[in-house]
Every structure is written in C-alpha cells, then in structure tokens.
Amino acid sequence: MLVLGVESSCDETSVSVVRDGKEVLSNVINSQIKIHEKFGGVVPEVASRHHVYQITLVFMEAIKEANVKPEDIDLVAVTMGPGLIGSLLVGVNAAKTFAMMYNKKLIAVHHLAGHIYANAIEHEMKFPLVALLVSGGNTELIYMKDHFDFEIVGETLDDAVGEAYDKVARVVGLPYPGGPHVDRLAHLGHDTYHLPRVYLDDGSYNFSFSGLKSAVINLNHNANQRGEKIDVNNLCASFQDSVTEVLVRKTLKLAKERGVNNIIVAGGVSANRGLKERFMAEGEGFNIAIPSIKYCTDNAAMIAVAGYYQHKVFPNEYADLSLNAIASLELEDRYIK
Ligand code: KG4
C-alpha cells in the first residue's frame, strides 16, 4: 500500500511517499528555519505564504523521488491539526486537490499521532507502551494499549519543552530554533547552577517548565546587573539536566506503575542528545525507542505512516472535500473509539 503524506502544520512543508507503513520512498522537507531565524521565532503569516510558494514543488519532488506515478498512490494522509491554522490550510487544501484530481481516498491525521508513529519506521511498535511526546508546542505522557488507543496521562501546565528550550536559547543569545544549540553547548559544560527540578507535588504526571525558564531568565538578568559573566555552557548544561531529569524520571515512573516495558520518545525534542543519554543511563531493563533525527522533527513520512495505521484501525473513516484544518485539537478527541 502506497501512502502519500502531507505535513504543513508549522514551518516545514513536507510531502512523502511510504510503502506499507515502513519503507520511506521519499520524504521531501522544505524548511523555513532560515526565514524565521531573523525574527527569533515562527511568524505565522510568513509561514503560510511560504507553504503556498513551496507546496506544489514539494509534491512534485516527492513523487519524482519515490519513482512512482500519482496514479499508483493508494491513500492520501494529511495533517489536519493541531498547528498554525494558515499553515495547516495549505497542506489540507493541497491534499484535497490531489485526492480529487486522482480520485484517491483521503484521511485526516492528528499531528501528534504522526510524531508517535515516526517510531514505526525504524522500530516495531510493541504494546502496551508509554510515549513521551516532546516538541515545540506539546509535552505529553501518553499510555497506549494498542494502535491508535491514546490515553493522555500527563501534559504540561504551561510551556512545552521545546518552547522552553527556544526561550532559554534566546535569553543567552543563541539562534532560533534554540533546542539544538542548547543541546550542543550543554555537552561542553556542567550542571553548576543547580536549577529547580519541578516534579509538582500533586502526584500527577503533569509537567511545568515556566518556573525553570524564569529561573534562567532571572539568573541571566541578575548576573548582567552585577556585571558578572554567565558561563553559557554551564547554564545550558544545568538547564538540560533539570529538564531531562524530570522528563525521564516521570516517564519511567509511569511505565513502572503501568507495568509497561516499551517506551517511545517522539517530537522535535526527542532529537536531544542529553535526553537520549539519560534514558540510556536510567532506563535499564526498558525497551526504549527514539527515532533518528530526520524523523524527530516535523516531516511527512511520519504522517504517511500514521495514516497507514490509522486506516487499519478506522478502515472506513475517510475525509471528504469538506475537510477543514483545526488549530487546536486534542489527540484523544480526534480518535474516539
Ligand atoms: O516537533 P517539532 O519539529 O515541531 C513541533 O511540532 O513543535 O519540534 C520543534 C522543537 C523546537 O522547539 C526545537 O528547538 C526543538 O524541537 N528541538 C530540540 C532539539 N532539536 C529540536 N530541543 C532540544 N534539543 C534538540 N536537539
């Protein structure tokens, strides 16, 4: 089965062709990072315009690279949300147009399901599992009994992890997106600032990162006022240690509580080396899967793979040409069994 995936929820225009939910024949990604870098973050209006410029070219390139004909595609899977509404609309309308032109079935995929199913490309997803989903817009702990059976057990009460990374990077003068830069510098420093670890004392699996972010901002501000120099490498290492400790320990605690051996990590922040290293160091005895970097951040292969499994679980749930993008969409609400 050939699935064509389309992703445009933020600042990556991506189209991919995947065979049988596994074999990635093409995964073309046009990233707008360079465009948004000068603004220090994604400007939604600029992002949607660039999706419009790129989407047709990316479709053509993905089909050419996969060495297939549009007629060969069996199913079109598109990200319907959550994300930036103007960006999402470009992908949704392009997917609808392609499906209409070639008379193909269309299905609407939740962006976070895509991140989770990025793991199915290189690993076998074994259930039950606990998924830690960490990206620029989301931080969630999810329990899955089976394919497309999502129970959100914990989520961030304020900032998403990637958002906290990007803000901390900006404070210490690193470019956007800051996560990879903080990660790199963290490996050159040590945890000397001992920033707070926020576990929340309500016994929940929720997260909070705004206090940690404020601690970094205040530390930087106070040092500037006193004319002292901050050691950026050590600050990055301290921030990363604090974030990864909470993420890893809460994930392992949930897995133990539910008697689950399989853990998957998903989303842009799953590219973080510190997170990987801590999972390897503390997660002995668990089967931990993290996608390779090209499948961690936004890409259409993950949408095609999620579409493939979604189609198996909900075989007759096709979208029609009235499909609309939704900016705010809960994973559990999208897939009610
Ligand atoms: O999943 P993604 O591409 O987009 C969303 O759907 O949000 O994630 C982007 C986020 C950004 O905040 C970026 O700084 C972060 O992932 N990120 C990282 C790393 N690589 C990307 N954060 C920490 N360490 C990294 N190595």
Class of domain 2-117+296-334: alpha beta
| 73 touches 4 (CB < 8 A) | yes
Ligand 1 neighbours by CB, cut-off 6 Å: 10, 135-137, 162, 165-166, 177-180, 183, 267-269, 271-272, 297-298
Ligand 1 centroid–CA 296 distance in Å is: 8
Q: Which of 116, 105, 120 is nearest to 138 (CA)?
A: 116
Question: Which DSSP state fits 271?
Answer: G
Compute φ and ψ for 319, nearest 5 degrees. -90, 155
pTM tops 0.85: yes
* Of 31, 116, 117, 269, best ligand 1 pocket probe by most atoms within 8 Å of the beta carbon: 269
Smallest CA separation from ligand 1 atom 23, residue: 179
Give me the tens of pLDDT residue by residue for the chain, a chain 337 residues long.
999 999 999 999 999 999 999 999 999 999 999 999 888 889 999 999 999 999 999 999 999 999 999 999 999 999 999 999 999 999 999 999 999 999 999 999 999 999 999 999 999 999 999 999 999 999 999 999 999 999 999 999 999 999 999 999 999 999 999 999 999 999 999 999 999 999 988 889 999 999 999 999 999 999 999 999 999 999 999 999 999 999 999 999 999 999 999 999 999 999 999 999 999 999 999 999 999 999 999 999 999 999 999 999 999 999 999 999 999 999 988 887 6
Ligand 1 centroid–CA 100 distance in Å is: 34
Smallest CA separation from ligand 1 atom 20, residue: 180
| 50 touches 35 (CB < 8 A) | yes
Q: How far apart are CA 178 and CA 79, in angstroms?
A: 25
pLDDT reported for residue 201: 82
| 277 touches 148 (CB < 8 A) | no
Domains in the chain: boundaries: 2-117+296-334, 126-290
Ligand 1 centroid–CA 134 distance in Å is: 8
pLDDT reported for residue 337: 61
Smallest CA separation from ligand 1 atom 13, residue: 179
Task: Evaluate whether 2-117+296-334 and 126-290 have a shared fold.
Answer: yes
* Of 135, 185, 293, best ligand 1 pocket probe by most atoms within 8 Å of the beta carbon: 135
Output the six-digit token pair for 295. 């499948």
Smallest CA separation from ligand 1 atom 14, residue: 179
Smallest CA separation from ligand 1 atom 7, residue: 136
Ligand 1 centroid–CA 208 distance in Å is: 17
Ligand 1 centroid–CA 207 distance in Å is: 17
Looking at 3.30.420.40, 3.40.50.2300, 1.10.287.610, 3.30.559.10, the CATH number of the domain 126-290 comes to 3.30.420.40
Atom of ligand 1 nearest to the CA of 298: 3
Output the six-digit token pair for 60. 């053509």
The four Cα atoms 30, 142, 81, 243 give a dihedral, to 10 degrees, of: -50
pLDDT reported for residue 334: 84
Q: Which residues on adjacent β-strands are paired with residue 75?
A: 3, 105
Per-residue buried b or exposed e for 97-109, using 16+ beta carbons within 10 Å of the residue's own CB: ebbeeeebebbbb
| 236 touches 212 (CB < 8 A) | no
Using the Cα atoms of residue 15, residue 20, residue 21 and residue 27 in order, give the sign of their dihedral.
negative
In the block, residue with structure tokens 């705004």: 210
